[in-house]
Structures are given as structure tokens and as C-alpha cells.
Amino acid sequence: MGALIWGLDTAQPVSDADFHRIEQTLLERVAVVMPDLAEDVTWLRNFGRRFGPLVPHILDQYHHPDSFEVSIIARHMGTAQSRTTAIPAGAFWHSDLSYEAAPSDAIFLYATHLPTEGGDTLVANMCMAYDKLSDALKQKIQSLTATHRWGWNTGGGTPALSTDQQSTHPDVVHPVVRIHPKTRRPVLYVNPGYTMKINELAPSESDDLLQTLFAHALQPEFQYRHKWALGSLLGLDNRASMHCAVNDYTEPRQMLRMIVGCTDSLGKPQQASG
Ligand code: SIN
């Protein structure tokens, strides 16, 4: 899991050949790190767009002034965008936009300000986690579905939505085991932040199963801990991972984030049965 990719330069666009190698590496390794990039929002946005449509985040108050396809994730910055939620944005395990009917293929985070210590980002590989489930559990969850909701269990890391924002974000249902559309590998597609319940089970059974799946997926052997450096760009395959910003710093920290939308059929309305 994870790959370090040197040699990108914001003075020039990424060639098709390099883009395909990066895209392939992201699929194979789930997390890719591209160090030493200048802060160039236009380059970042153009790079992100190569992976699919960039989705403007629901919290439009944090959109970057130069591009609504880029969000500012700031803490202790003393700026208007600096988050004041109980814990930092993303400081809970989640996969971006799992609370949307069309969730996210990938995320890119770029570090502009870092605390002297802490502020790492943890990533859990949900493809590895699925592979290491017992056969009995694989069988049990094979055809289950789960309901996801914005802000469900985020420990105060997500601000309340405005009425307008709320009206466009009803609960959504996704399969618990998702076949990755590109690698065709099965992935455990539930996360503590946004997954409320398993629909086919009684509430207590659903809670128990989710806790079992989360405890399994969060074992250190499935995790990569990203230690940031200024100018680093971290790409994550959201279809095959969940991530969590570590809440252990009090100095300024700021990321620029791009979210790549869903490019497979998971985003399309399902035919109702019966
Ligand atoms: C996020 O979850 O989008 C933010 C992660 C981070 O700040 O490390």
C-alpha cells in the first residue's frame, strides 16, 4: 500500500504517459504521495480533473476563492475559512461522499501550512481489510446494504448543514461489499463517520456487525500513516480506502482538497425491485 512519486513540476502539465502511470499506481497502491509541488491552484485543479469530474464540496462556505472545485481545510489559521468545529474537519474515519448517491472515486489533499508536530493523515486499505475477513463474515455481508448519512458519527467534526444544503442530502444506500469498478476487487464499503446501519438487520445486530467490521478494518496492518511535508500532494482511492485526520495539534494547519466524483454505475439510480 502507498507509493511515492517524484518528479512532477507545476511549471508544466502532466503528460498523458505520466498521468496513466499515476492513475494506475493509485489503483494498485490506494495512496500516492507527490512531494515538492508549488502551491498552484490552477495546476492542482487541472491535475485533479484528469481523474474525473471534480465535485464542489457541500460546504460551499469553504470553497477556494480561485476555484469552487478546491476546498480549504483549515484549523487554527485565524482566517475566515478556519474551521471551528469541535474537532478538525475529517478527524473521524470516513470515505468522502459516501453519504451521496454518487460518492467519490478519489481525493487529493495538498499541504500549505503544517504544525511543527502532528497533523498526520491515516489511511485504511478497505480492499486489504475485505480480503482478510473470515469466509463466514464475507458470506454474511455479501449481499447486505448500508445506509449512509452526512455527519452521522463525526464527533463534532462536521458543521450542521444549512436548510438548502440539507435538502439536497437525503440518506443514501450503498452495498456493504462493493466491487471496485477498475480493479474488480471486492472492497468493504462502510465507514464509522457516515455509515448508520445495515438495512437488512435488526438495529442491535446491525450495530454489532458494523462495530466488528470497523474494528477489523482499523487494524494497523491495513493502515498507512501519512506524515505531511509542505507542498506534498496526497492522492487516495476513496473506493478502496477510508481516512482520518489525526486531531493532535494546536498550531496552524491548512490543506487544499479536491474530490473526484463517481465515474461508475454506483452513482446511477437503481431499478426498484418488486
Ligand atoms: C479530509 O478528510 O478531507 C481532510 C483530511 C486531512 O485534513 O488530513
Mutation pick for ligand 1 pocket among 64, 257, 258 (CB with most ligand atoms within 8 Å): 257
Burial state string for 91-123 with b = 16 or more CB within 10 A and e = fewer than 16 = bbbbbbbbbbbbbbbbbbbbbbbbeeeebebbb
Question: What's the number of CA atoms in the CB half-sphere (13 Å) around residue 249?
Answer: 23
- Cα dihedral: 46, 237, 107, 10 (round 10): -40
State the chain's mean pLDDT as an integer: 94
Predicted confidence (pLDDT) per residue in 171-217, tens digit: 999 999 999 999 999 999 999 999 999 999 999 999 999 999 999 99
Q: Is there an atom of ligand 1 within 6 Å of 89 CB? A: yes
Measured in angstroms, how far is the CA atom of residue 73 from the centroid of ligand 1? 7
Burial of 24 (0-12, 13-18, 19+ CB in 10 A): exposed
Res 10 pLDDT > 80? yes
Confidence of residue 271 (pLDDT cuts 50, 70, 90): very low
Measured in angstroms, how far is the CA atom of residue 257 from the centroid of ligand 1? 8
Task: Delineate the domains of the chain, giving CATH numbers in brackets.
Answer: 3-262 (3.60.130.10)
Predicted confidence (pLDDT) per residue in 61-76, tens digit: 999 999 999 999 999 9
Confidence of residue 266 (pLDDT cuts 50, 70, 90): confident
Confidence of residue 80 (pLDDT cuts 50, 70, 90): confident
Confidence of residue 160 (pLDDT cuts 50, 70, 90): confident
Which residue bears the cell 498552484? 40
Res 274 pLDDT > 60? no
Cα→Cα distances 211→8, 145, 157, 180, 205, Å: 41, 15, 20, 23, 10
Residues in the chain: 274
CA distance 115 to 249: 7
Predicted confidence (pLDDT) per residue in 93-142, tens digit: 999 999 999 999 999 999 999 999 999 999 999 999 999 999 999 999 99
